[in-house]
Chain A
């Protein structure tokens, strides 16, 4: 067991992948000399050199597009977008190119690239640096989507992403980089594409991912003190989506709350809620309840920012009312 931060685990995953396979390279703004805007790639340029850590100009569409071409040509690029908020600038390369090349070209070739980025609130970074845009990705067939919540998953999901035959968008949470946990990176972990049950209880199932896993666990602890026991499912990857685990737990327990930091309307929570209603209808005691980000941009004001996304208190209160 070692103590490690989420940031260190991501770096270790890159280091191990780059050591094992010299086709793996990192392309992005400030990834080399600077060590990444959030310090994830710090020191890697000393280990692997500037040919494996390519510092780019501020040219997001070309960063993603170059990764697409590199992947087609046999390399294993890890492109980095400093903030997921910039994904719109690259959406053609991602949505029209990376996601569709295998299909359009009749299966001749895939685009095995990883796009690492980070999102979410927590730093007063304002409307253009605080969003949770995973639904954009999930709405595009052909793109895989991983969103680690724990330190171990920061490592394992990134390693897993690099083994996929298809493009993976890998969204970290900016508030988790300093999260420190005891991990044993050699111990067995759930497979790529498999959800993790982080806590078991018989009163309701909380389905979530990324930072909201921690909020859900906090809420579950408070609920437990009040005699309500929650199951908390961490989806880990949203595409592939392990709906079997969700279905099994919801059918067992009969109540579900889905939680997402992204805005509520047409978001990940909406998709999950729809599937649970459709597929587990006969087992539900109550309608599924969604707790998600407000349908508004994120303000720079500390107070407004905090109120714009689900808090442990809102999760606890909603769960209590659902179970009552």
Chain B
């Protein structure tokens, strides 16, 4: 069997990335999708409550992904819905996966925190903080050998900045001149811990520079600025100079669905939510002459798209029980023997 993993063939067609309207559209799609994920949970249709919404962080996903191209690969952390959508994921199959349904990207085995699609270059979301980071070093190594200029991007949160594996990975990427990008989405919190309570080294990009990477920090309010900063480190990465970008934003809601953020003050939250990249882009569009009604129509179209994703997920079935033994090993390998079969043999003995 040839491994299809690193043939990221079906990424989104190149877009006119300079188009703010397109960036706005992608950010609005992310936000509306996340709102619908919340609805799926409330309706009792999600698989569990470990749903981490990226509302407030849309510019990081959309701004960085706008600099990626077909053939690039990436990994994400547990708050990765927006990144995957921005790389061209089908909202229906995403929503179904979040519901643990057969029609989902991973047939209901992975869920929100372990969603992946090799065709789109998504090497996987991760429920281990920092767990997906080193894979981009390996993927970058493969890209370098293939020589096509493909870049592998690790997306992770500020919490992962305190995991040792990030530093091992950045060091190797620099040592081997790999086409790799490390993107820290700094939403200021890791669960209930503010970043100031997690580190005294607040200039995150300096850590990357210490290892010989190109390290930058950008404010996440303006998606065009994020895209520009990302383009700079991406250009370096394409030529074998690994980079790091921290995008400063704010986690609008609790850590996961059950978290009501009792550890932060309402007024601080209100202040944090003022850094809204979606509203900011919208205002910029209106300023430059777009009619508000035009954007309203665009938003309604996106709502219809995401409503449909919920309908698709709800209408989809659970994976068949027999599928649980599938894909533990390769497709031509025998499946693990069910416990019942083993019990049967013990009890059949006379």
Residues of chain A at the chain B interface (Cβ within 8 Å): 29-30, 33-34, 37, 55, 57-59, 61-62, 85-86, 89, 123-129, 264, 286-287, 289-297, 299-304, 307-308, 310, 314, 318, 321-322
Contacts and interface: CB of A to CB of B under 8 A. Distances in A.
A127 B49 CA distance: 15
B47 A124 contact: yes
Given A304-B323, A304-B324, A296 B336 contact: yes
Contacts of B112: 300
Nearest to B114: A126
22 contacts: A29-B190, A29-B191, A33-B197, A58-B162, A126-B111, A127-B114, A128-B114, A128-B126, A129-B50, A264-B339, A294-B325, A295-B337, A296-B324, A296-B325, A297-B328, A299-B108, A300-B110, A300-B113, A301-B100, A302-B48, A304-B318, A304-B323
Interface of B: 47-50, 100-101, 108-114, 126-131, 159-160, 162-164, 190-193, 197-199, 263, 318-319, 321, 323-325, 328, 336-340, 342-343, 346-347, 349
User: Closest 3 CB pairs between A and B?
Assistant: A124-B48, A300-B111, A57-B162
A322 B347 contact: yes
Contacts of B192: 30, 33-34
A314 B338 CA distance: 13
B191 A37 contact: yes
B324 A307 contact: yes
A55 B193 contact: yes
B109 A299 contact: yes
Contact of B339 (A37, A62, A294, A300): A294
Contact of B109 (A37, A58, A304): A304
Contact of B131 (A57, A125, A128): A128
B129 A124 contact: no
| Main DSSP-derived SS at the A contact region | loop
B100 A300 contact: yes
Given A34-B192, A89-B128, A126-B113, A292 B164 contact: no
A205 B323 CA distance: 33
Contacts of B349: 286-287
A34 B108 CA distance: 31
Majority-rule SS of B interface residues = loop
Nearest to B195: A57
B339 A292 contact: yes
B347 A318 contact: yes
A30 B164 contact: no
A57 B197 CA distance: 8
A307 B321 contact: yes
A316 to B, nearest CB: 13
Nearest to B112: A300
Given A124-B50, A300-B110, A301-B108, 6 more contacts: A123-B49, A124-B49, A128-B113, A291-B339, A300-B108, A314-B339
Nearest to A88: B128
A153 B101 CA distance: 38
Contacts of A55: 193, 197
A32 to B, nearest CB: 9
A86 B128 contact: yes
Nearest to A264: B339
A1 B339 CA distance: 41
Contacts of B109: 127, 297, 299-301, 304
Contacts of B339: 264, 290-295, 310, 314
A286 B113 CA distance: 44
A62 to B, nearest CB: 8
Contacts of B101: 301
Contact of A126 (B50, B323, B343): B50
Contact of A321 (B50, B342, B347): B347
B114 A300 contact: yes
A59 B50 contact: no
B328 A296 contact: yes
B343 A61 contact: no
A301 B47 CA distance: 6
A322 B110 CA distance: 36
Contacts of A307: 321, 324
Contacts of A34: 191-193, 263
A62 B128 CA distance: 16
A29 B263 CA distance: 14
A322 B198 CA distance: 55
A297 B115 CA distance: 15
A126 B108 CA distance: 10
B162 A59 contact: yes
A85 B110 contact: no
A300 to B, nearest CB: 3
Contacts of A297: 109, 328
A58 B113 contact: no
Nearest to B199: A57
B6 to A, nearest CB: 22
Query: Which one of A124, A302, A303 has the highest number of Cβ atoms from chain B below 10 Å of its Cβ?
Result: A303
B193 A302 contact: no
A300 B131 CA distance: 18
A289 B110 contact: no
B325 A57 contact: no
B330 to A, nearest CB: 14
